[in-house]
Structure 1
Amino acid sequence: MFRIAKEQLQALATTVEQSFINRTVHQLREDFPSEIEAHGLQGPALEALVHRGVADATAFGITQGDDVRLYIECMLVLSPRFSNDPQLPWATEILRREDLSGTAKMDLIHDHLVFGVGGEGVTRA
């Protein structure tokens, strides 16, 4: 029988996470150059933002790759601290909802940004 040591699993998870971060940084540089410049995220600062975005998204139950990437994009487009920005109470409300999956939360945020819906009082799951 073949066994994987705990350390090996941890190393694999770290490699997968770093690969996601590298791909996300590359994509953000291509898709959001003006936002990156506006926030002064040159060099390692952008990678640090992505690391923080992964951790923050995970804390809100957002774990699917596309959802995490959208969360990080919101950090660039809305505010690096959009999840608790007093100017964006609708985002905070959505992210704190425990009755929604991570995907449902990001769908509501996307709907709000694109269509102006999905904020307070929305019960879609």
Structure 2
Amino acid sequence: MLTIRRRQSAMFAQIAVDRFVGELSAHFREHLPRQFGALGEEGVREAIRYGIGRARSYRIESEAGVRVFVQLMFVFGPAFDSDPKLPWASRCLSGAGDERARVGRLLDVAARSRRQRA
């Protein structure tokens, strides 16, 4: 029988987070070059890790949900979720429903807000 100890489990979790951070960093390098250039590789990775923690504070744990949260951080600013100029963000994140429903609402409202700004 195989036994996985807590330390080993934590190591596997860290490997998964590192992989996710690397993939998201590469995505930002390609799709948000201005923000990527301003922060640099290490700054982007640090911002992504910060975003992972912020997303978790709203019970957003799936890769897809965290990806949306972090992308919105890069588009609307690192404190978009508590920015008084963006009240829709905290309402969506703190609203009723499971993670998928809240993230879906967040994405819809963010897209509308972005179109209105343009």
- Preserved CA contact (<8 Å) 1:21 1:51: yes
Alignment RMSD, CA only? 1.3
TM-score by length of 1: 0.83
2:29 aligns with: 29
What are the equivalent positions in structure 2 for 1:8-47 lying under 5 Å apart?
A: 8-37=8-37, 40-47=38-45
Q: Which has the higher contact order (CA 8 A, sep 6+)?
A: 1
Check if 1:111 corresponds to 2:108: yes
Alpha-carbon separation, structure 2, partners of 1:53 and 1:3: 32
TM-score by length of 2: 0.88
| Greater fraction of residues in helix | 2
Alpha-carbon separation, structure 2, partners of 1:102 and 1:35: 27
Alpha-carbon separation, structure 2, partners of 1:11 and 1:94: 33
Deviations 1:2-44 (A, max 9, x none): 211111111111111111111111111111112334xx31131
Alpha-carbon separation, structure 2, partners of 1:21 and 1:68: 11
> How many pairs does the alignment contain?
113
Alpha-carbon separation, structure 1, partners of 2:12 and 2:50: 20
Q: Secondary structure at the match of 1:80?
A: coil
Deviations 1:57-78 (A, max 9, x none): 0110111111111111100111
In structure 1, runs of 5+ residues without a counterpart are 117-125
